[in-house]
Amino acid sequence: MADGAVGASFRDPSGFVYESGGTIYRQVNRVYADEYDLLLSSGLYAELTQQRLLLPHEEVDEPVANPDEVYRTLRPEPLDFVSYPYEWSFSQLKDAALTTLRVQQIALRHEMVLKDASAYNVQFQAGRPVFIDTLSFGRYEEGTPWVGYGQFCRHFLAPLALVSHCDARLLELFRVHMDGIPLDLARKLLPARAWLNIHLFLHIRVHARYQRRYAGDTDTASKIRPVGKTALSNLMTALESATKKLTWKATGTEWAEYYDGDSYEAGATAHKRAVVSEYLDEIRPKEVWDLGANTGVFSRIAAARGIRTLAFDIDPACVDRNYRQVRDEGDTHLLPLLLDLRNPSPALGWATEERASILDRNSADAVMALALIHHLAIANNVPLDRIAAFLGRLAADLIIEFVPKSDPKVAILLATREDIFPSYTEAGFERAFRSVFDIERKVQIERSERTLYRMVRRPDATSPV
């Protein structure tokens, strides 16, 4: 990222985030001075950061991005990786929702409220969700309703309900509706049984009806009854109850039980683990991207070494199972995320700069592509040389597995289609990848015909992202 304001930080007059010299800063503008001082003096900042609910920061003297407006310059704790709601699993979005509500409840006790409830204000740091927008806190005014209520329903309650009652893939609607899933759309998509849940009936169906009724009404404010602090706290409790009751069983998808399958023997898996471990010890990367990570079996080999590891997979069930294991075990080095390599997360939003593409965020030191190549080359007709070029953009070091046509998993892919892949052989694979990488090592996995390679990007190949 070049020096200057971060693309997503321009809507809030209270301040903005910018980069200088490779470090992220947040400027607090003078217009937000009183509320920022209250955040600190009330004890709210101390309590939230102590509980790891709010990303901590330190005040610094320089650099100053806009001297005419500046009140304070903050240097937040660096984030390991910036992810977006359309890259999260059900459980990740649910935990982000509960974190937002918990922050709001604690803020109320300190005479403050959240001015919004955007899912983009939450990131996953060291294995758990954390609120990152220091400037989202406003002074509580008696009788004022929570202005973030509608946004919470769009960003959290509606999408969680859609996954719980319909399909996990509906989270991809976040790509189109960046300010959350419209409640009238959620109302149309949810089945009749969803309305047996009184919380969903009130916060989505009735809420959507209210929005439709008063759309375009310039005097809506006069129709809203005053809301006391107790009623506001009760609303948070009701939303928390509604969120907790939504569940999704992350099983039954194609690859969620991949390593429990009938063709990948335990001996082969053990040898593959050992070779991956050797390769990682040779490379010694600081950050690894595991593409097609499934439930994170091999991602954990890197994470256990203290390597910051991103585990990407297309299957929502795999990602959810992986995340729940991360959460339950307290793993601080592994972040599971949804990613369709056929259509990676693009640049979105205003001027296509508000949400960065997956390739414009952190770059990896090493990429693992295990049991992946056949899905791209055979199931999706991506030529091997294009796969090599893409992986060469991501990292200098590559650990990749070649799965031949004789493998049972490839046989599944070829069972219902014509074999139009004459170059999909080990020799063809090596030839295609040598245009981008030098092959440092190759090991055939015991009790299989698969081969595990360690490659290094050639100096004259594609530059990193």
**pLDDT band at 227, cuts 50/70/90?**
confident
CA pair distance 180, 391, nearest whole angstrom: 32
Residue 213 confidence (pLDDT) above 90: no
Residue 238 Cα distances to 106, 154, 267, angstroms: 15, 16, 50
- Closest among 308, 307, 290, 291 to 299, alpha carbons compared: 290
Q: Is pLDDT of 445 > 50?
A: yes
Q: What is the pLDDT of residue 1?
A: 42
Write down the pLDDT at residue 24. 93
Is pLDDT above 70 for 263? no
Tell me the pLDDT tens digit for each residue of 379-399. 999 999 999 999 999 999 999
Predicted confidence at residue 254, as pLDDT, reads 52
pLDDT digits (tens, 9 = 90+) for 229-243: 899 999 999 999 999
CA–CA separation, 15 vs 351, rounded Å? 20
Task: Check pLDDT > 70 for residue 186.
Answer: yes
Beta bridge partners of 5: 18
Does the pTM of the predicted model rise above 0.75? Answer: yes
Report how far residue 4's alpha carbon sits from residue 63's, in angstroms, rounded to the nearest whole number. Answer: 11
Q: How far is CA 278 from CA 222, 295, 439, 443, in A?
A: 68, 21, 15, 11
Across the chain, what does the average pLDDT equal?
91
Query: Cα(437)–Cα(397) distance, rounded to whole angstroms?
Result: 9
Q: State the Cα–Cα distance between residues 208 and 226, nearest whole angstrom.
A: 20
In the chain, the domains with their CATH numbers are: 1-248 (1.10.510), 258-457 (3.40.50.150)
For the ranges 168-172, 212-216, 383-387, 398-402, the lowest mean pLDDT is seen at: 212-216
| 363 vs 57, residue with greater confidence | 57
Q: Is the pLDDT of residue 103 over 60?
A: yes
User: What pLDDT sits at residue 215?
Assistant: 58
pLDDT at 464: 44
Residue 9 has what pLDDT?
A: 73
What confidence score (pLDDT) does residue 217 get?
53
DSSP string, 226-287: PB-HHHHHHHHHHHHHHHHH-------STTTTGGGSSSS-HHHHHHHHHHHHHHHHHH--SE
Measured CA to CA, the distance from residue 233 to residue 465 in angstroms comes to 46
pLDDT tops 70 at residue 177: yes
